[in-house]
Amino acid sequence: MLLTLREVTKTYPGAEAPVLRGVSFDLAAGEMLALTGESGSGKSTLLHLVGGLDTADSGVVAIEGTDLTLLDDADRAALRRGTAGVIFQQFNLIPSLTVAANIAFQARLARRHDPKRAQVLSGRLGLTEHLHKYPEQLSGGQQQRVAIARTLAPQPKLVLADEPTGNLDEATADTVFALLCELVSETGAGLILVTHSERLAGRMRRRLHLRAGQLT
């Protein structure tokens, strides 16, 4: 099993109620999952725990048998670089780097930079003519394509996408979503997509819904 969650809980300091209350599920390699729920239901928190960006209060969050709750900050960062890739709604590109350098950034950190793979990803995502540009020179849809290429360049085993089309118009969102699913599927990676879009969630093979920190 690629990902295993067992009775995961999380409460933020000062909060009156837990954000996550005993969440459990599995994700197999190559499986694509949509995670839906209202704002504040715990979707992004759950994604951050799986990606090693935060730690659970209790329970198990394991990727290929390695429990992230037992790792320190450095080991969780190493896991993010090479095993779990995160795509954010706000793109999080480095403004001082060109498109080409942004795409290569994560792979270089993971010591997996492959110029040929970067070239293929750039071509598939329609970025070849923009590699010399900087993020501010791109449209929102183009920036999200760069973010996808950067995440996929190191060939992570698990891809976590937090509202990756939330800032895009419907037509652009559909195109970016289709490309993301196609590219992830080709690598055999698992995908968890957090989305408010019923339309996009309905196109995923599996769906889980969070309500008040619990799966329903």
Strand residue runs (E) in the chain? 3-10, 20-27, 32-37, 58-63, 66-67, 84-87, 158-162, 190-194, 206-211, 214-215
Residue 14 has pLDDT above 90, yes or no: no
Q: What's the chain's average pLDDT?
A: 94
Confidence of residue 79 (pLDDT cuts 50, 70, 90): confident
Q: For the purposes of burial, counting CB atoms within 10 Å of the CB of 114, is it exposed (0-12), middle (13-18) or buried (19 or more)?
A: middle
Which pLDDT tens digit goes with each residue over 121-130? 999 999 999 9
Q: What share of the chain is helix, strand, coil (3-state, %, to 5)?
A: 40, 25, 40
The mean pLDDT value for 25-44 works out to 94
Residues 6+ apart with CB under 8 A from 152: 85, 121, 159, 183, 184, 187
Residue 71 has pLDDT above 90, yes or no: yes
Which pTM does this prediction carry?
Answer: 0.93
Residue 151 has pLDDT above 90, yes or no: yes
Domain covering 3-215 assigned CATH 3.90.245.10 in the classification: no
Which pLDDT tens digit goes with each residue over 155-175? 999 999 999 888 888 888 899
